[in-house]
Amino acid sequence: MRRIPSTSVKNLDEVAARLAEHPGPLTLIFDADNTLVPQGASSAEFEHRVNAVIDRFESMASVERVIVLSNGPQRGADRVIGRGNKPWTNGRRLGLARRSATPIWVIGDQVITDGVLAWRLGAEFFLLAIDPADDYPGQARMRRLGRFVAPLIFRKTGVSDPPDRSGK
Ligand SMILES: [Mg+2]
* Residue 122 to residues 57, 102, 164, Cα–Cα distance (Å): 21, 11, 7
Ligand 1 center–CA 123 separation, angstroms: 17
Q: Is the pTM of this model over 0.85?
A: yes
Ligand 1 center–CA 45 separation, angstroms: 16
Structural domain of 52: 4-156
Ligand 1 center–CA 38 separation, angstroms: 9
Does residue 31 belong to any structural domain of this protein? yes
Ligand 1 center–CA 139 separation, angstroms: 8
Q: What is the chain's pLDDT, residue by residue, as a tens digit (168 residues)?
A: 789 999 999 999 999 999 999 999 999 999 999 999 988 889 899 999 999 999 999 999 999 999 999 888 887 667 888 888 899 988 888 888 887 889 999 999 999 999 999 999 999 999 999 988 888 889 999 999 999 999 999 997 654 444 555 554
Does residue 163 belong to any structural domain of this protein? no
Does residue 67 belong to any structural domain of this protein? yes
Q: Can you tell me the distance from the alpha carbon of 32 to that of 85, in angstroms, rounded to the nearest whole number?
A: 13
Does residue 47 belong to any structural domain of this protein? yes
Q: Can you tell me the distance from the alpha carbon of 18 to that of 40, in angstroms, rounded to the nearest whole number?
A: 29
Ligand 1 center–CA 94 separation, angstroms: 17
Between the two ends of the chain, the Cα-to-Cα distance in Å is 11
**Count of Cβ atoms closer than 10 Å to residue 25 Cβ:** 13
Does residue 58 belong to any structural domain of this protein? yes
Does residue 14 belong to any structural domain of this protein? yes
| Total number of domains constituting the chain | 1
Ligand 1 center–CA 57 separation, angstroms: 18
Residue 137 sits in a domain of what CATH number?
A: 3.40.50
